[in-house]
Structure 1
Amino acid sequence: MSKTLSLNEIRSRAVAFHHEWKGEPGEERQQAQSFVRDLLHVFGVTGTKAALYEKRARRSSTGSGGYIDALVPGLCLIEMKSAGKDLAAAERQALDYIDDLSDAEAPRWVITCDFHTFRILDLHAEDDADTVVFTLEQLPARVEDLAFLAGYQARSFGSREQEAASIKAAKIMAGLYEALEGSGYDDHEASVFLVRTLFALYADDSGVWERDMFFEFIETRTSEDGSDLGSQLTKLYQELNRLPEKRQKNLDELIARFPYVNGGIFAEPLSIPSFDRAMRAQLLEACAFNWSAISPAIFGSLFQAVKDKKARRELGEHYTTETNILKTIRPLFLDDFEAEFAKQHHHKAGLKKLRARMGEAVFVDPAAGCGNFLVIGYREMRALDLRILERLQELGDSSQIPTMFFTKADLPVKMESFIGLELEEWPARIAATALHLVDHQANQAMELALGKAPEPLPLETITTVHVVNSLKVRWQDYIPPTQHLFIMSNPPFLGDNTRTKEQKKELQDAWGDASVLSRLDYVTGWHAKALELFKNREYGGEWAFVTTNSITQGDQPPRLFGPIFAQGWKIKFAHQTFAWTSEASDAAAVHCVIVGFTKDKAAPRRLFTYPSPKAEPLEQDAAQINGYLLDAENVLVEKRSSMLSPCLTKTLRGSMPSDGGNLIVEPEDYAEFAADPIASTYLHRYIGAKELLHGTDRWCLWLDGWDSRDLNKSALLRMRVEAVKDFRAASTAATTRDYPYHHLFRQLAKQDTSYVCVPRHVSETREFFTVQHFDADVIAGDANFTIQDPDGLQFAVMSSSAFITWQKAIGGRLESRLRFASTLTWYTFPVPEISEKDRAAIIAGGRAVLDARALHPEKSLAEHYQPLGMDPALVKAHKQLDKAVDKVFGLRDTTGKRVSNEDRLKALFASYAAMTGDSQS
């Protein structure tokens, strides 16, 4: 037998099985093993290696020993009872044995039988309601309920059980790689050998060939000390690449039973690896695992990591979940195809046209890695095609289903339509193999549903996964012309400070203009290449990339989205910031966005928002989506050197000491300086980031306008100035080293009047920007900005919900904290001309905020603005302030409904567009 039995073949065997056993008395002791052997034969499970009979096991409830009638490791446990016995009790007995089994042996299904009735329990089902019961007479009609014995796995793709199985499988492969690596086997050859072994293990459990035939080969054709394992496997792998008619006639009969595989997996000649007893034992343990339960996409991500020692230790903690991949491919193409399926549900001609359109589509991942976008995309498209075929049958039209059997040519969705470009050979090889595995799973699903599917062997050679640097090649050299192209990817996340010089050059070449770079992330090179491809009229379609959320922050949006919008692209869908991570509790998370582009003006705009980075997305329809992934005016905010608003005032950067700490007076030194009659005259309160937020005390020596003779009058002062001179003389920065005034801060920005002190960074959890008023004699350090504010308007505007909403929308971030950049978020803040009445109301609102803070002088800014603990009086004051500021943007409370930040954003972007005349719409 060279493949999984078809369901028709299984039914024929089931009929014969029924006739043979229907009149038997059903005695457990005399007939159980024969009955089980014959039953397994119906489903193609033959030989003593596939199933273990009379396996000793210990009952967890009593600790006493017993025997399991039959165990197919990793798949099912079979418990037989004499005719008429209680099968529910037999099931409890079977479950009592499972705790004594290893992880590799633990079954998914429990089958109990009394020779006349079958009872089947799926241990992965949510409740006992899924238990199946039928009679021997019903077996031919109910073979689908036992089809898992033949390799037809009923699986929930992306489920936790599949993820868990994939993690176990990857750990097994990591152990095999570690053993090969430790033996000194060539790394490239070890990679090829592992992929071949993976395929053989998977084929053993999934019906590609006879169940456990590979297991049987290792156990019966190799020595226990492992000395000949390498040569025997090499021989086997050679024959899997050889047509049966070209094999030697005196070939070992077990090797001769293996089918011809092809597909390129076994083509490359390899040197013979050396194995030992322990390595052979590892391989046998791998054979005991149920490889049909894995997800090719999840396993591929994990399998890619086995070469890295650190990654091997953390397998299962860092991998991409299918849920996250579906966030890209569903709104990019899958939802549209499924919506068309729903629309044409009752129309045969429409369903046939849909199949044809699916066959015209081409899917490309230009940073493919181990191929999980391609694998899941292929799986979902094949699943949709199967649903269409089933619906056509229901409508009485089987013209799309061949009378005899399916071939690859009968499928509109083909593997050659899924194209990957990948920099490294190892993940590219995994991607090709994973496509083979998911293709087999899709064919199994088709066989189960329609009774026919393409033959699993020989494999097609996958020629569409290319090992190239996709930023250095012309994509059209690898992608056939089509008007139905979907580009999807999760390119590398590298920022301005983490990319190499070579990668910077690649980025510049991709854009073709070094001036556009600014601090564009490396990932945007793939956007540039997509734009370049779609300029060619032979290509039409849509594209979407997962990227770090920094492309929607700071000065990147104008530089990235400007060229995209200029070519007529619109944002079709977007996921706002979320954590791209695995389900593992301590998995690393990267804050990401997903942006999909289309030129279809009629396509609905879908915006996915997240209450928190790890929350489930909430979908909303949008009128349009701008470069900040907001449903608002499509403007791109650029830095300014002058104020956009006539009402606002420029900022100054706080004073920068560059002094080695010698002009700063810490609390523990304050008493000494305060007691010095000369040094004390130069003491000023000093406000850095910590002092502003937490209200702590710190001072500095402000010697601007000093009397230089005071140096000779104060040893304390002289010591500090000399220390500054020594520090600056040792500096590597010429501007610091050559600065001639050792008594002064390196940069001076002292205010002549009272001012607002603005922090450079604010926690993203704050509801308001934490700013504070100070008198002119308080020195603000360079961790802050200052704004002259004689009447309080600047403080009030910056303290409003409108401003922090603008800052969060367009400003940059440091990690997740808000980064204040005055030329980007303050100079662009679009406050229009306001009346004297509105100005007075805003100033009064700011004063109310200060008065509410003054009610609790013991509290720092951090304590005042604790996200979950703001004082009611302060909340009330901010509501008064917001009402006044919102009014100038045309926003008002109506019918008791508060103005939302979404309302504010729409008003702010509209105001910016009106004041600048800039809109990408």
Structure 2
Amino acid sequence: MRLSWPEIRARAAVFAKDWKDAHYEIGETQSFYNEFFAIFGVDRKRVAVYEKSVAKLSGTPGRIDLFWPGELLVEQKSRGHDLLGAKIQAMDYTHRLSDAEMPKRLLVCDFQTWMLTDLTTGEEVAFALRDLPKHIDKFGFILGRQTARFKDQDPVNIKAAELVGHLHDKLAASGYTGHKLEVFLTRIVFCLFADDTGIFEPKDILHDWLEGIADPASLGPQLNKLFEVLDTAEDARSTTLSDALRQFPYVNGHLFKEYFPPPDFDEGMRTALLNACRFDWTPISPAIFGSLFQSVMDAKERRAAGAHYTTEKNILKLIGPLFMDDLRAEFAAIRARRTGRQQALRAFHDKLASLTFFDPACGCGNFLVITYREIRQLELELLLELRSDGQLQLDASVLSRVDVDQFYGIEIGEFPARIAETALWMMDHLMNLALSTAFGGYYPRIPLKKAPTIRYGDALEVDWAEVLPPERCSFVLGNPPFVGQSYQSPKQREQMRELMNPKGATGTPLDYVGAWFLKAGAYVQGRTRISFVATNSITQGEQVALLWPVLFDRYGLEIAFAHRTFAWGSDARGKAHVHVVIIGLDRRDNARSSCRLFSYDDLDGDPIETVHRMISPYLFDASLLGNPHLVVQDVPKPINHLPEARMGTKPVVGDHYIFSAKERADFEAMEPGAARFFRPFIGSREFINGIDRFILHLEDASPNELANMPLVRERILQVRRMRSKSRKAATVRLADYPTRYEVSTVPTKSFLVLPSVSSERRPYAPIGWLEPPVIPSNLVQIVPDAELSTFALLTSAMHMSWLRHIGGRLKSDFRYTIGLVYNTFPLPPGADLAKLDPLAQAVLDARAAHPGATLADLYDPDLMPADLRAAHGRLDRAVDRLYRAKPFSGDRERVEHLFALYEAMAAPLLPAPPRVRRRAGR
């Protein structure tokens, strides 16, 4: 029988009256607590024992008056006894208990005065026996009715995943695999959660039922019987059903509908299930439980359990500016009204109940679950506000109108799709418990009558309108998959091509996440808003010019808010290494008068918010630009009047001509004639870290010289064979010229070196000069005719700002490209660059003052010498003054200034800017 809180409260009042004169510890304690547990309809013998023997910290024996392992320890005293001393005595007992036995709560009591302490939170409540009815909800844990406090990185989440993972492994090893295993585990986890959180009442009836099935061979069929019971209404169940199964509620929700043969349990599998059941599931957050639970399906991924789940903090960064901030501001304005308040509150409730949320890459439902919790919490505050007006006449369970059927998703994996449904039901139950606590009733939504819509399928193949008609969609949100272009499967590349260029024959070097932006742009209608987490690559490098003109021009979208680059996700065992952005989009017809931009001084820290009229796709203020949609186009020649740069040598020789210092020495010992054909061969890694590498330069070798070097001839033969087997026609043609490089850059005078890749940790990309006979590799860019002023500009903070925002990234490292970064970098108009020469030389002199230090050493932010840092500071200030007299406050201000110069410089290449209509708004 499920007892409502009013019934429990009434029972508590009778209990308090019956025991108002109780005072004697030894004679009355056991009867007192037997009747106390009966308030909740729980037989004390089922959960707790009296007089448990335990050693005190001093080693002397002691006895716990009442002990419920893992839940409650009671120290009972006679009336008027010192309860503070009793609490110290109770705490003494806990030091000798095992982790599994450690209670979450202590109760010290002298019959008339009660003191309950929550050991996990430190919260303490004290009251008189006569006030027990007012505080009886504090003992909701006896039935599992408690609102848990979740922590993003709580290790219990990982422990739960590991326990279920152990059960998974044993089931899979027995041959129970595939769809059956996935559904079976989903049901088991729901039941484990239900047993500890009040869906099943009283608490632990599942555990007790499982403990009673001693024969492992009968456990599988018995579990199937339990699933059948959970899917059958109470009045439709067999009259001969056992009492043990009859006590389970009707759940419905299609979770237990499908039938398939159960697994054949052995003792090890039974033990694994019981271990998972003994675990306390109350602090497991439904928001991250899905991702953790999914990881149990892959033993390798489980070893880093939690590494991929999304923290609640980061989900809130998206849903806050997308809708929650607006909804809370609207609610606050209604609460402040003096007239029409009641009507406005009810209209706002209508709005909450009408909103729909669509995550087309929902995974295990993290975003949907947190969104549901936040909307339900806002609804609860609304209901309390209605009650404060004396207007709440109906039962709160009727008035609560936000439900899981407002949530939609698409997920490519069947298992996470089902987990997403289950996680939403779990959060629904927890929010119903919060509603129950607030209004003093008990409002479970069991049996489940409504369900979220989670479509199992490939979101780029499914018609989103079939999942949720676009005219009914309020918000599209989520965290689509991050797959770089080079890692995409042929199918993924074809999907990208179809979305980006449906009539074209070629694909696009766009990250896979861009596909969700494109499909969302084509899907949304009316006032629907979009927000996705994305790799920061779509806001820098060549991808900006590929993606954003389509979103702006084809689909008429505008950036409404954005989080600039920050570190995404985390786990209890170490920080994640993914750097992301969050982009929020409005349809242009709905564009607001201001846009919100969140920036991070510390990638792991909290953001600083600024407000702007428009935001650039590079995620900075675009208000000063004539064209706020401006993107930097890759150009083959400098449009800034810098000397031309070019790529280094691309040999296409495999390893046949390339040698380490030792390999070169060994080769020369066997082939002395080859010594004069070796040249230093320097790429980014070698240049920055001072590593020696060499290449055979045979282009000018005469036939008779080659004929006298058999080992070199063997290398030439290997290069010919390698090239002839290539899939590229141009490389096959080059096989006839094995002593030539595919791209030959062999400088005859000193040249400036720009590493193609450099660590994002460095305050400056390390550039500098090299001399012949060095041959630069294709992993550096070179400027043969560079002057000191060229070096000064390229090693300045101003140029680094341009590189950080415009250059692409390799992982998180800077990726320097000629056409996108060097050829487009705006120079200060009309400036005398020769003024920078002495400052540039001072930087070079400061480097030279540290012989033996590599550029990696010199530009490590932790190791950079003070004189070099000071020389760069003087150079930075001088370069900044060439651009404007007023100092720049930082990177973002510099790049905003540079963009205005770029717009003027590139004006002949650019289309006319769009006209953007804006509406008033937050």
Task: Give the structure-1-normalised TM-score.
Answer: 0.90
For 2:28 and 2:283, locate their aligned partners in 1 and report how far apart those are by CA, in whole Å. 32
Are 1:561 and 2:548 counterparts? yes
C-alpha deviation, 1:613, in angstroms: 3.4
Are 1:628 and 2:618 counterparts? yes
Q: Which of 179, 191, 200 does residue 191 from structure 2 map onto?
A: 200
> Secondary structure in 1 aligned to 2:282?
helix
Q: Which of 582, 585, 595 does residue 570 from structure 2 map onto?
A: 582
Partner of 2:816: 820
C-alpha deviation, 1:517, in angstroms: 4.5
Partner of 2:919: none
Are 1:693 and 2:688 counterparts? yes
Partner of 2:640: 645
Give identity over the alignment, percent: 36
C-alpha deviation, 1:323, in angstroms: 1.6
For 1:679 and 1:277, locate their aligned partners in 2 and report how far apart those are by CA, in whole Å. 71
1:365–1:488 contact (8 Å) kept in structure 2 = yes
For 2:539 and 2:866, locate their aligned partners in 1 and report how far apart those are by CA, in whole Å. 34
Are 1:48 and 2:45 counterparts? yes
Partner of 1:296: 286
Are 1:766 and 2:727 counterparts? no
Amino acid at match of 1:531: G
For 2:184 and 2:631, locate their aligned partners in 1 and report how far apart those are by CA, in whole Å. 52
Cα separation, partners in 2 of 1:132 and 1:516, compared to 1, 3 Å: farther
Partner of 1:253: 243
Cα separation, partners in 2 of 1:627 and 1:214, compared to 1, 3 Å: same
For 2:408 and 2:790, locate their aligned partners in 1 and report how far apart those are by CA, in whole Å. 55
Q: What does residue range 506-655 of structure 1 map to in structure 2 within 5 Å?
A: 506-513=495-502, 514=504, 517-534=507-524, 537=525, 539-566=526-553, 567-586=555-574, 588-599=576-587, 600-602=590-592, 604-632=594-622, 633=625, 634=628, 635-654=630-649
| Residues 89-138 of structure 1 deviation map (CA, whole Å, 9 limit, x = unaligned) | 2223333333444544432221111111111111122x5xx321111112
Are 1:14 and 2:12 counterparts? yes
For 1:718 and 1:705, locate their aligned partners in 2 and report how far apart those are by CA, in whole Å. 17
2:645–2:781 contact (8 Å) kept in structure 1 = no
For 1:119 and 1:705, locate their aligned partners in 2 and report how far apart those are by CA, in whole Å. 93
Are 1:155 and 2:148 counterparts? yes
2:144–2:195 contact (8 Å) kept in structure 1 = no
Q: Which of 871, 891, 899 does residue 909 from structure 1 map onto?
A: 899
For 1:431 and 1:671, locate their aligned partners in 2 and report how far apart those are by CA, in whole Å. 61
Root-mean-square deviation (Å): 3.0
Partner of 1:424: 413
For 1:205 and 1:700, locate their aligned partners in 2 and report how far apart those are by CA, in whole Å. 68
2:664–2:694 contact (8 Å) kept in structure 1 = no
| Residues 797-826 of structure 1 deviation map (CA, whole Å, 9 limit, x = unaligned) | 212221121111111122222111111111
C-alpha deviation, 1:382, in angstroms: 0.3
For 1:433 and 1:174, locate their aligned partners in 2 and report how far apart those are by CA, in whole Å. 18
1:542–1:596 contact (8 Å) kept in structure 2 = yes
> Secondary structure in 1 aligned to 2:116?
strand
1:578–1:592 contact (8 Å) kept in structure 2 = yes
C-alpha deviation, 1:446, in angstroms: 0.9
For 2:591 and 2:786, locate their aligned partners in 1 and report how far apart those are by CA, in whole Å. 50
| Residues 393-415 of structure 1 deviation map (CA, whole Å, 9 limit, x = unaligned) | 33x242xx3434523xx334221
Q: Which stretch of the first structure deviates more once superposed, 464-473 or 199-208?
A: 199-208
Are 1:729 and 2:725 counterparts? no
Q: Which stretch of the first structure deviates more once superposed, 822-831 or 568-577?
A: 568-577
> Secondary structure in 2 aligned to 1:291?
coil
Partner of 1:393: 387
> Secondary structure in 2 aligned to 1:145?
helix
C-alpha deviation, 1:625, in angstroms: 2.3
C-alpha deviation, 1:527, in angstroms: 1.2
Are 1:167 and 2:183 counterparts? no
For 1:153 and 1:310, locate their aligned partners in 2 and report how far apart those are by CA, in whole Å. 35
For 1:113 and 1:271, locate their aligned partners in 2 and report how far apart those are by CA, in whole Å. 51
> Secondary structure in 2 aligned to 1:492?
coil
Partner of 1:478: 467
5+ unaligned residues in a row in structure 2: which ranges?
917-922
C-alpha deviation, 1:777, in angstroms: 4.6
1:263–1:462 contact (8 Å) kept in structure 2 = yes
Partner of 1:794: 790
Partner of 2:858: 864
Cα separation, partners in 2 of 1:181 and 1:873, compared to 1, 3 Å: closer
1:362–1:482 contact (8 Å) kept in structure 2 = no
Amino acid at match of 1:142: H
Partner of 2:802: 806
Partner of 1:780: 776
Are 1:359 and 2:345 counterparts? no
C-alpha deviation, 1:238, in angstroms: 1.5
Q: Which of 173, 177, 182 does residue 182 from structure 1 map onto?
A: 173
Cα separation, partners in 2 of 1:215 and 1:650, compared to 1, 3 Å: closer
Are 1:132 and 2:125 counterparts? yes
> Secondary structure in 2 aligned to 1:344?
helix
| Residues 739-795 of structure 1 deviation map (CA, whole Å, 9 limit, x = unaligned) | 444544443212344321221111212222211123455432322221122543332
1:104–1:290 contact (8 Å) kept in structure 2 = no
Cα separation, partners in 2 of 1:876 and 1:823, compared to 1, 3 Å: same
C-alpha deviation, 1:451, in angstroms: 2.3
| Residues 305-360 of structure 1 deviation map (CA, whole Å, 9 limit, x = unaligned) | 22222234443454322222222212211121112222222232433332222222
Are 1:879 and 2:873 counterparts? yes
For 2:812 and 2:56, locate their aligned partners in 1 and report how far apart those are by CA, in whole Å. 50
C-alpha deviation, 1:17, in angstroms: 0.5
2:656–2:715 contact (8 Å) kept in structure 1 = no
For 2:853 and 2:230, locate their aligned partners in 1 and report how far apart those are by CA, in whole Å. 76
Amino acid at match of 2:42: V
Q: Which of 348, 368, 382 does residue 376 from structure 2 map onto?
A: 382
C-alpha deviation, 1:578, in angstroms: 2.4
For 2:800 and 2:183, locate their aligned partners in 1 and report how far apart those are by CA, in whole Å. 55
Partner of 2:29: 32
Amino acid at match of 1:491: P
For 1:369 and 1:761, locate their aligned partners in 2 and report how far apart those are by CA, in whole Å. 33
Q: What does residue range 56-455 of structure 1 map to in structure 2 within 5 Å?
A: 56=52, 58-59=54-55, 61-125=57-121, 127=122, 130-158=123-151, 163-212=154-203, 214-215=205-206, 218=209, 222-347=212-337, 348=341, 349-394=343-388, 396-398=389-391, 401-404=392-395, 406-407=397-398, 410-452=399-441, 454-455=443-444
2:802–2:825 contact (8 Å) kept in structure 1 = yes
2:637–2:823 contact (8 Å) kept in structure 1 = yes
> Secondary structure in 1 aligned to 2:570?
coil
Cα separation, partners in 2 of 1:215 and 1:244, compared to 1, 3 Å: closer
For 1:701 and 1:511, locate their aligned partners in 2 and report how far apart those are by CA, in whole Å. 44
Cα separation, partners in 2 of 1:665 and 1:107, compared to 1, 3 Å: closer
Q: What does residue range 694-709 of structure 1 map to in structure 2 within 5 Å?
A: 694-697=689-692, 702-705=697-700, 708-709=703-704
1:547–1:592 contact (8 Å) kept in structure 2 = yes
5+ unaligned residues in a row in structure 1: which ranges?
none
For 1:223 and 1:766, locate their aligned partners in 2 and report how far apart those are by CA, in whole Å. 63
Cα separation, partners in 2 of 1:46 and 1:322, compared to 1, 3 Å: farther
Q: What does residue range 751-762 of structure 1 map to in structure 2 within 5 Å?
A: 751-762=747-758
Amino acid at match of 1:92: I
Cα separation, partners in 2 of 1:795 and 1:114, compared to 1, 3 Å: same
Cα separation, partners in 2 of 1:899 and 1:177, compared to 1, 3 Å: closer
Partner of 1:848: 842
For 1:175 and 1:791, locate their aligned partners in 2 and report how far apart those are by CA, in whole Å. 65
Q: Which of 869, 883, 890 does residue 900 from structure 1 map onto?
A: 890
1:297–1:376 contact (8 Å) kept in structure 2 = yes
> Secondary structure in 1 aligned to 2:754?
strand
C-alpha deviation, 1:701, in angstroms: 5.2
Q: Which stretch of the first structure deviates more once superposed, 167-176 or 495-504?
A: 167-176
Cα separation, partners in 2 of 1:911 and 1:746, compared to 1, 3 Å: same
> Secondary structure in 1 aligned to 2:884?
coil
Cα separation, partners in 2 of 1:223 and 1:875, compared to 1, 3 Å: closer
Amino acid at match of 2:266: D
